[in-house]
A and B are shown apart, each in its own frame.
Chain A
Amino acid sequence: EVQVVESGGGLVQPGGSLRLSCAASGFTFRIYAMDWVRQASGKGLEWVSAISTDSKSRYYADSVKGRFTISRDNSKNTLYLEMNTLSVEDTARYFCAKRAGETATTRQADYWGQGTLVTVSS
């Protein structure tokens, strides 16, 4: 069974940092690109970042570029999101999602975790 499970969320002060993890199982992690998507309470979905299978290609939303870093460890079947200089606008549930493939025709997210909550507040 395909599973992605996020962890690492919590309460952090403005300007602080947090590292999210996403543990993958039930599929060959190293051959699938992965995404992070977030959702503030009562709001819509916002795509945050994506990473290719070999980590050579990384993409970010303008709202997080320069502050967030996506990475992966294929030996540990784990995806990460390093978040720095956090602001209250970053408060949201962060979802990890597996892509259907690596190509432009397979960028859709076919499996999602339940998310981890990040709260930025003083």
Chain B
Amino acid sequence: IQLTQSPSFLSASVGDRVTITCRASQAINGYLAWYQQKAGKAPRLLIYAASTLQSGVPSRFSGGGSGTEFTLTVTSLQAEDFATYYCQQLDSYPLTFGGGTRVEI
């Protein structure tokens, strides 16, 4: 299953609302996760099952979508949110990641 993220690069300001899209090449039954990765660090789980917020993740992060199209939205972007975001499908093997979306100031 191929995952296509858009945009691949996003320039935003603190306080902005941003939305990243992840499109799957076939339906994935909502088995989608979102991760945040900062430079030189391990990825961090943000969202799973398309829309469930991982414990400890701020509520300004939200996930949505179904079928083959999914979104990650950050309301009121904070300085610490500038990072690269990846989606991952967990429906079938081999598991796959999207190409990533880099969010920069």
Contact = CB atoms under 8 A, between A and B. Distances in A.
Contacts of B31: 104-105, 107
A62 B94 contact: yes
Contacts, number: 58
Given A95-B42, A110-B45, A47 B94 contact: yes
A109 B93 contact: no
A46 B43 contact: no
B71 interface: no
Interface stretch (A23-31, A73-81, A82-90, A112-120): A112-120
A95 B35 CA distance: 14
B54 A110 contact: yes
Nearest to A47: B95
Interface in B21-73: 31, 33, 35, 37, 41-45, 48-49, 54
Band of interface residues on A: 20 to 34
Nearest to B37: A45
Contact of A45 (B45, B86, B91, B94): B86
A60 B95 CA distance: 9
B57 to A, nearest CB: 11
Contacts of A112: 42-44
Give the top 6 A-B pairs by smallest Cβ distance, nearest first: A112-B42, A107-B90, A108-B48, A108-B33, A47-B95, A44-B100
Interface of A: 35, 37, 44-47, 50, 59-62, 95, 100, 104-105, 107-110, 112-115
Interface of B: 31, 33, 35, 37, 41-45, 48-49, 54, 86, 88, 90-91, 93-100
